[in-house]
Amino acid sequence: MERIINVLRLNAYMPMKTNLKNIIMFFKNNEDKMDIIAFVDNTKDVQYGSEQMSDITFQIERKFLLKGKRNVNIQYVVITDNIVRDKEIGEAEKISFWLYDIYTSKIIAYENSLDEFDDLREQIESELMKMRQPDTAEKSSGLISFTLVNTILLLLNILIFVIMENKRSSLGEAAFVVYGGCEWRSIYYGGEYYRLLTAMFIHFGFDHLLSNMICLFVLGPEVEKIYGKIRYLLIYLISGIGAGVVSSLYYMNEGKLVYSAGASGAIYGIIGAMLVGLYFEKKIDGAHVMGRILMMILMVVFSEQINVDVDYIAHLGGLVVGFMSSALVSYIQYNRAKSS
């Protein structure tokens, strides 16, 4: 918040003490009125709704009324990752608030709220956008980047590989079929649809695992930062399942018996999501992202040189499904923000 604090200080605002979680307030004491601007971060574990905001407003007005200030103007800036949820704050009476949508980097003012407050809107919007961008040091830090969901996916893939290697020692290659590899006869005739999910966490060998995990390590954090944890996980899973569906349908139509496994379908979905992000998320560093995609492509080429049997159909299916699912998510979010 250092950027915001500097902007507000330049406009004669001072920090205001509060014990409210995820809320930071500033005030400017004028002769005839008190101007207060409050930043409410609704992207964290605690979200404030219309009732809580009404209570907060009442307490602030009461506090300054006791000090002889009858004219108290309060402007809330609600930082949100869900504008549908948080626009309901407008149902509360006497509350003027702006929503700052982290996905579009825009401030939205609803009909009951002020379009401007002490000439601060444009300045705040600009500084909030800068805060959401990765720092230069982070951009130049190479491949070292960890995010929660992507790290869990990496560890889960590695753990399942270790378990499968133990099973392989007793069952041989049959372990891939017994423990969830993607094979269209078992799915179509046996109704074992769970294989579409489990197959994306199974790998045929260490080289297969290594190349996929490097790709996931390079690309995953970028996509998770663009879409957020839940959307990233959904895109990953939908892409992996979609890759399995496309691959199974193709080889069933060809009459070929092919066993498929690996995270590559989901990873190609991540590439599709990243390409969509370059269009919708204007604030991300395009050159930085494209550099990571290029590195991933080189890794895939290397992987395909050491693995003769590559399921290109699954790769293509994952890419298309990832592109379409992330495009749908981004388009809906963009239009919600635009219509609001």
Q: Could you give the residue numbers annotated as active site?
A: 264, 315
Phi and psi torsions of 329, nearest 5°: -60, -50
Can you tell me the distance from the alpha carbon of 288 to that of 76, in angstroms, rounded to the nearest whole number?
34
Cβ contact 2:39 at 8 Å: no
Cβ contact 200:236 at 8 Å: no
Give the strand pairing for 34-41 and 106-109: unpaired
Question: What are the C-alpha distances in Å from 99 to residues 85, 177, 247?
Answer: 11, 51, 43
Q: What is the DSSP letter of 47?
A: -
Can you tell me the distance from the alpha carbon of 247 to that of 250, in angstroms, rounded to the nearest whole number?
5
Q: What is the DSSP letter of 260?
A: B
Can you tell me the distance from the alpha carbon of 337 to that of 340, in angstroms, rounded to the nearest whole number?
5
Give the burial class of 153: count Cβ atoms within 10 A of its Cβ; 0-12 exposed, 13-18 middle, 19 or more buried: buried
Residue with tokens 């399995």: 244
Give which of 5, 3, 4, 23 is closest to 14, Cα–Cα: 5
Give the strand pairing for 72-80 and 34-41: parallel
Cβ contact 77:124 at 8 Å: yes
Phi and psi torsions of 254, nearest 5°: -80, -15
In three-state secondary structure terms, 94 is coil
Can you tell me the distance from the alpha carbon of 199 to that of 263, in angstroms, rounded to the nearest whole number?
8
Can you tell me the distance from the alpha carbon of 212 to that of 219, in angstroms, rounded to the nearest whole number?
11
Can you tell me the distance from the alpha carbon of 323 to that of 282, in angstroms, rounded to the nearest whole number?
17
